[in-house]
Every structure is written in structure tokens, then in C-alpha cells.
């Protein structure tokens, strides 16, 4: 019986240890925003020692790999990268990924357009650009051609909720 308690305590003690198996590292970018195509210095600290990390730039619609870097014996690194010129401006997260793909550290970065803004664009309230799909230079009233394919599960949900509402509504209307 006593052995069970020891085993249980051992397992419970192992839970936080397992949870902490991945780093809670830190990366510093030095800037909060940078232009696409410009150079960026990324400093990492408090990471796993002597480990190779992949650094990616992740946005709402696109992800770019910035490069690979190896931490030193103190769990730190310095990486200089060129931000992809073709990346759409917008809000991004720089993520440092461990070899198993888990995130070890992150920092937010606002990506600005590569080219200087047009003279008329004195502020960014008019949504100069954002990520993802084709971004025409000329204004157009045409709608975006978005893929709106729904999965069978999604269709089933929509049909079920529609049928349920209809049945519920008719039942209520038929009651005296």
C-alpha cells in the first residue's frame, strides 16, 4: 500500500517536470515594427542549451521561415535575418520553434510595407495593405474570389441548426 503512495507521489511530481520540459524562453527584437525586406536582429535567451531552433514569421494568412539558429551553452543566440520582401504588411508573431516543433519563445512584430507609402497616405487608417490574397494596386469594386468550400461537417451543422429552428418554431406557432 505504501508503495502505491510513493508511486502516486512520484507521478504527481513528474507532471510539472514534464510540463516544464519545454523552454519558456525569451526573444528580443529591438523594434516593434519593421518594413518587409529590411534586416532584423533577433536575440534569444533562457532557451535550451546547444539546441537548434527554427525561427518563423507567422501572420494571419501566411508563415515565412526566417532561418535556423543554434543556441550557445548559456541558452542564448543572436540571429540577423532579412524579413521577406514579399510578405504582406500586417501583424505577425516571430516564433522560435524547438526541434520537435513546439514553440519555445515568441515576440510580436508589425510588418510595414516594403515600399514607402504613397504621398496621399498620411496615416494608415485607410488600410494600406494587409496580408494574404492578391493585393491589387488599383482600386476595384470587384469582390475577392475566396474559397468558401464548406466541409460536410459544416454543412451538417448548418442544416441541423436550420431544421431544428424550423421544427421548434413551427411547434411553438401551433400551440394554442
Q: Which region among 2-10, 50-58, 69-77, 132-140 touches other proteins (by CB under 8 A)?
A: 132-140
Instruction: Please report whether residue 115 would count as binding other proteins according to CB under 8 A.
Output: no
Regarding 22 and contact with other proteins (CB under 8 A), the answer is: no
What is the spatial order of strands in the sheet that 103-112 belongs to? 33-35, 103-112, 90-97, 52-58, 63-70
CA–CA gap between residue 104 and residue 53 (Å, rounded):
9
C-alpha cell at 176: 394554442
CB 136 within 8 A of CB 128: no
Copy the grid coordinates of residue 152: 460536410
Q: How far apart are CA 77 and CA 49, in angstroms?
A: 10
Minimum distance, C-beta of residue 159 to other proteins, in the bound complex (Å): 8
> What's the distance, Cα to Cα, between the start and end of the chain in Å?
66
| Residue 146 near other proteins by CB under 8 A | yes
Binding of residue 65 to other proteins (CB under 8 A): no
Candidates 60, 74, 85, 115: give the one binding other proteins (CB under 8 A). 60
Among 86, 90, 102, 114, binds other proteins (CB under 8 A): 90
124 binds other proteins (CB under 8 A): yes
Q: Which three cell numbers stand for residue 30?
A: 529591438
CA distances from 175 to 151, 161, 162, 164, 168 (A): 37, 21, 20, 17, 11
Minimum distance, C-beta of residue 57 to other proteins, in the bound complex (Å) = 14
Neighbours of 35 (CB within 10 A): 16
Q: Contacting other proteins (CB under 8 A), which of 48, 133, 152, 156?
A: 133
Q: Does 156 bind other proteins (CB under 8 A)?
A: no
Nearer to other proteins, 79 or 109 (CB): 109
Q: Please report how close the Cβ of residue 85 comes to other proteins at its closest, in angstroms.
A: 16
- Contacts to other proteins by CB under 8 A: 59-61, 88-91, 110-112, 118, 120-121, 123-144, 146-148, 150, 154-155, 157-158, 161-163, 165-166, 168-173, 175
Amino acid at each position: 500500500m505504501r508503495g502505491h503512495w510513493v508511486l502516486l507521489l512520484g507521478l504527481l511530481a513528474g507532471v510539472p517536470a514534464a510540463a516544464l520540459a519545454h523552454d519558456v524562453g525569451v526573444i528580443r527584437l529591438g523594434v516593434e515594427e519593421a518594413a518587409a525586406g529590411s534586416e532584423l536582429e533577433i536575440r534569444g535567451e533562457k532557451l535550451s542549451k546547444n539546441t537548434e531552433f527554427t525561427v518563423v514569421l507567422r501572420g494571419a494568412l501566411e508563415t515565412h521561415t526566417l532561418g535556423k539558429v543554434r543556441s550557445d551553452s548559456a541558452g542564448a543566440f543572436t540571429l540577423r535575418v532579412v524579413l521577406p520582401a514579399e510578405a504582406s504588411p500586417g501583424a505577425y508573431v516571430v516564433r522560435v520553434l524547438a526541434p520537435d516543433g513546439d514553440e519555445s519563445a515568441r515576440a510580436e512584430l508589425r510588418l510595414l510595407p516594403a515600399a514607402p507609402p504613397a504621398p496621399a497616405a498620411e496615416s494608415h487608417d485607410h488600410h494600406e495593405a494587409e496580408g494574404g490574397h492578391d493585393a491589387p494596386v488599383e482600386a476595384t469594386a470587384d469582390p475577392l474570389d475566396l474559397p468558401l468550400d464548406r466541409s460536410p461537417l459544416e454543412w451538417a451543422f448548418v442544416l441541423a441548426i436550420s431544421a431544428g429552428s424550423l421544427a421548434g418554431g413551427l411547434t411553438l406557432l401551433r400551440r394554442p
